[in-house]
Amino acid sequence: MIASRSAPKPPNKLSFNHNVSLTVSLTVGSPPQQVTMVLDTGSELSWLHCRKTPGTPYVFDPIKSSSYTPIPCSSPTCRVRTRDFTLPVSCDPKKLCHATLSYADLTSVEGNLAAETFRFGNSAVPRTVFGCMDSGSSSNPGEDSRTTGLIGMNRGSLSFVSQMGFPKFSYCISGRDSTGILLFGDANFPWLKPLSYTPLVKISTPLPYFDRVAYTVQLEGIKVSGAVLPLPKSVYVPDHTGAGQTMVDSGTQFTFLLGPAYTALKSEFVKQTKGVLRVYEDPNFVFQGAMDLCYRVGLNRPGLPMLPTVSLVFRGAEMSVSAEKLLYKVPGMVKGSDQIYCFTFGNSDLLGVEAYVIGHHHQQNVWMEFDLVGSRVGLAEVRCDLAGQRLGMGL
């Protein structure tokens, strides 16, 4: 459900940084407090750490803000607009709306819903609903200690983009200098080539494993250097429980495929890189719990060899993954005179996720547009470092 739209607004832009996560900086509260938030198209509620701990040094302090308003459990916001949360909200002893959010990587946070003024670019949006979180557990404490929270950008009624009332937003992630650009509103630039669009897949009946407010697109096939994986189309279609949807998720780093598709892709990629790459043979090593195809690359090698391009074929659009986007150097891992690089596609089954997930690593140097009104996702290859420079110059 998308919030009602007012007159079109001029595009608002924010730059961001990325490492393991994409992060944007904005200000919240009165007077404004600077916060850094992970950009996540895979979740709904935005939230901030509101209690300082050794693991969460960067926090938003509600006591210092005159515009901070906690949301009571009796409020329609608490009762109605939280219906797409994965866990139901509850009432705390102070009769305030209490939310617990949990994510596929086993991270969880909990705290109260509140309304506050969020400022970004040239906009100030009062009474933006978010979570003021006072406890949680993280699967990535290093990354967590560098950010203040998360900005939820899916299609749910309490997501940041729904509350802002923008009909669409875009982002562009540079592969080179760990920066990017986030744009709210229309992206009409002479230097941006026409986007290829793929429609969002929607279902009217609630199904147990189908996330109805995700950006779900239809994956129709996978190619390795033009060779289509020999799989039936049904492998890519959600089943009767809703399991098997394909989600575009900026909050996940790599891309994960369900078992049969992953096995077929791994087998074809190994076949096409035989004699070019040396497989790292260690059955006990699985990078990040779901990536079990890794390679040895000599420390003295100037760069990666020529690799076959992997193309994800969607209805109406295609995403090509080539060169350094295919392999990721495992930080600090050296075996003899070799560094270890892992294939940037993983197995969803090993993560315990019943879906195909397109992560941000494969969205580098692709202009990604999320059109909420048109119910579609658009993409076009572009040098995102140059796009950022052009936007910085107001082009």
> Which amino acids are annotated catalytic?
40, 249
Angle at 251 between CA 53 and CA 116, to 5 degrees: 55
Residue 254, CA distances (Å) to 10, 291, 357, 391 in order = 32, 9, 8, 27
Helices (H), 58-140: 76-79
Strand, helix or coil at 119?
strand
Residues 6+ away with beta carbon under 8 Å from 124: 117, 118
Angle at 49 between CA 114 and CA 255, to 5 degrees: 105
d(CA 127, CA 49): 18
Locate 201 and state its tokens. 């897949």
CB 91 within 8 A of CB 122: no
Residue 332, CA distances (Å) to 52, 280, 326, 339, 340 in order = 30, 15, 19, 8, 9
Residues 6+ away with beta carbon under 8 Å from 187: 11, 170, 367, 369
